[in-house]
Structure 1
Amino acid sequence: MHSTPITAELVRGALEFEQTDHGIVPHRLPEWARAQSSDPQLATVERQPSGVRLALRTRATTIELDSFRTVIAFAGAPRRPDGVFDLVVDGRLAAQAQASGGHLVTIDMATGRAETTPGAVCTTRFADLPEGDKNIEIWLPFQETTALARLRSDAPVAPTPNNGRRVWLHHGSSISQGSNAASPTSTWPVRAAAAGGVELINLGFGGSALLDPFISRVIRDAPADLISVKIGINIVNTDLMRRRAFGPAVHGFLDTIRDGHPTTPLMVMSPIWCPIHEETPGPGDFDHAAMADGRLRFRATGNPSDVAKGKLTLGVIREELAKVVAQRSATDPQISYLDGRELYGPDDYAELPLPDELHPDDASHARIAERFAKVGWL
Structure 2
Amino acid sequence: MGLDEAATKPHEQLAAHLTERMAAVNVLIRERMASRHAPRIPEVTAHLVEAGGKRLRPMLTLASAEMCGYDGDFDVHLAATVEFIHTATLLHDDVVDESAQRRGRPTANLLWDNKSSVLVGDYLFSRAFQLMVETGSLRVLDILSGASATIAEGEVLQLTASRDLSTTEEIYLQVVRGKTAALFSAATEVGGVIAGAPEAQVQALFDYGDALGIAFQIVDDLLDYQGQSSATGKNVGDDFRERKLTLPVIKAVAAADAEERAFWKRTIEKGDQREGDLDQALALLDKHGTLEATRAEALAWSARAQTAIRSLPEHPIRTMLDDLAEYVVARIS
Same-fold call, TM cutoff 0.5: no
For CA contacts below 8 A with separation 6 or more, give which structure has more relative contact order. Answer: 2
- Higher helix share goes to which structure? 2
Q: If the length of structure 2 is used for normalisation, what is the TM-score?
A: 0.28
- Higher strand share goes to which structure? 1
